[in-house]
Amino acid sequence: MRYFIAILIFVIVATVSILGFRQDKFTQTPIWVFPDMDIQARYEPQGKNEFYANQMDDRPIVPGTVQRGYGWEKKQVFSGDYQWDVIDNPSMYSGKKENGDWYEGFPVEVTPALLQSGKEKYDIFCLVCHGDTGDGNGITKKYGMAATPSYHTDVLRSMPEGEIFNTITNGKNLMGAYGMKLNPEERWAVIAYVRALQLAGNATVEDVPQQNRRDLGL
In terms of Cα–Cα distance, which of 166, 168, 185 is closest to 176? Answer: 168
Would the pTM of this model clear 0.85, i.e. be above it?
no
Is residue 68 assigned to a domain? no
- Residue 80 resides in a domain: no
Q: Are 177 and 170 in contact (CB under 8 A)?
A: yes
| 3-state class percentages of the chain: helix first, strand second, coil last, to nearest 5 | 45, 5, 55
Chain segment 54-102, per-residue pLDDT in tens = 888 888 888 887 766 655 565 666 666 767 777 788 899 999 998 999 9
User: If you average pLDDT over residues 147-164, what whole number do you get?
Assistant: 91
Segments forming the whole domain that contains residue 106:
94-204
User: Is 76 among the domain residues?
Assistant: no
pLDDT score of 23:
60
Domain-located, residue 7: no
Count H helices and E strands in the chain, helices first: 10, 0
Number of structural domains, the chain? 1
Give 202's pLDDT tier (boundaries 50, 70, 90): confident
Instruction: Give a yes or no: residue 106 inside a domain.
Output: yes
Domain-located, residue 212 = no
Q: Considering the domain boundaries, does residue 79 fall inside one?
A: no
149: domain CATH number?
A: 1.10.760.10
- Does 142 reside within a domain? yes
